[in-house]
């Protein structure tokens, strides 16, 4: 590491490559999906602040238990998923809903939870991935890279 650089500009070695903190932030905010990471103790550690987040989050959730971020009526279901992940009973859970907004057409939202396990198989937390898949479901035929510039 070059200590003359600001912390956000120092290169962080990763398993397959290296990125600076600034690049990691930019990369995660340019993804076509929203990510929230909760550690093995159910504490929210990070969420990606994408431009058009489907479910807005505020920095206040960071450091809080994920069980405090869900309405009481559904919190036991979230807890069960996290408990199943921790116990190794399953690795993923998925949901999909049709969200009606002001738009004439509803948006198709895909919500997935993935158990995060390290290379030794130890539970290291959960990621929630939310994606607006309305456009993906409408793609027709193929559009290949070779079509670029035509």
**Cβ proximity to other proteins, 4 vs 41, nearer residue:** 41
**Cβ proximity to other proteins, 4 vs 149, nearer residue:** 149
Least distance in Å: CB of 60 to other proteins? Answer: 10
Least distance in Å: CB of 93 to other proteins? Answer: 4
Distances in Å between the Cα of 105 and the Cα atoms of 34, 66, 97, 109 are: 21, 31, 13, 13
* Per-residue binding letters, 16-55, with other proteins (x by CB under 8 A): xxxx-xxxxxxxxxxxxx-x-x-xx---xxxxxx------
* 44/64 Cα distance (integer angstroms): 6
Which tokens hold the place of 149? 């510039």
Least distance in Å: CB of 104 to other proteins? Answer: 19
Is the CB of residue 77 less than 8 Å from the CB of residue 98? no
Which 8-state DSSP code applies to residue 67? G
Best CA proximity match to 127, nearest among 58, 33, 56, 52: 33
Q: Does 3 bind other proteins (CB under 8 A)?
A: no
Q: Give the footprint of other proteins on residues 116-145 (CB under 8 A).
A: 116-120, 122, 124-125, 127, 129, 131, 133, 136-137, 139, 142-145
Give the residue, chosen from 5, 87, 92, 100, that forms a contact with other proteins under the rule CB under 8 A. Answer: 92
- Considering just the CA atoms, what is the radius of gyration of the chain in Å? 18
Give the residue, chosen from 67, 81, 86, 107, that forms a contact with other proteins under the rule CB under 8 A. Answer: 81
Least distance in Å: CB of 5 to other proteins? Answer: 14
Is the CB of residue 25 less than 8 Å from the CB of residue 65? no
């Amino acid at each position: 590491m070059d200590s003359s650089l600001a912390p956000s500009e120092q290169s962080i070695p990763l398993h397959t490559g290296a990125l600076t903190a600034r690049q990691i932030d930019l990369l995660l905010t340019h993804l076509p999906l929203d990510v929230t990471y909760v550690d093995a103790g159910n504490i929210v550690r990070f969420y990606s602040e994408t431009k058009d987040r489907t479910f807005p989050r505020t920095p206040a959730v960071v450091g809080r238990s994920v069980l405090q971020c869900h309405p009481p009526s559904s919190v036991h279901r979230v807890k069960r998923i996290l408990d199943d992940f921790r116990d190794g009973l399953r690795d993923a859970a998925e949901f999909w809903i049709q969200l009606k907004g002001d738009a004439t057409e509803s948006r198709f939202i895909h919500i997935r939870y993935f158990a995060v396990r390290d290379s030794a198989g130890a539970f290291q937390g959960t990621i929630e991935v939310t994606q607006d898949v309305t456009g993906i479901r409408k793609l027709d035929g193929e559009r290949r890279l070779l079509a670029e510039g035509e």
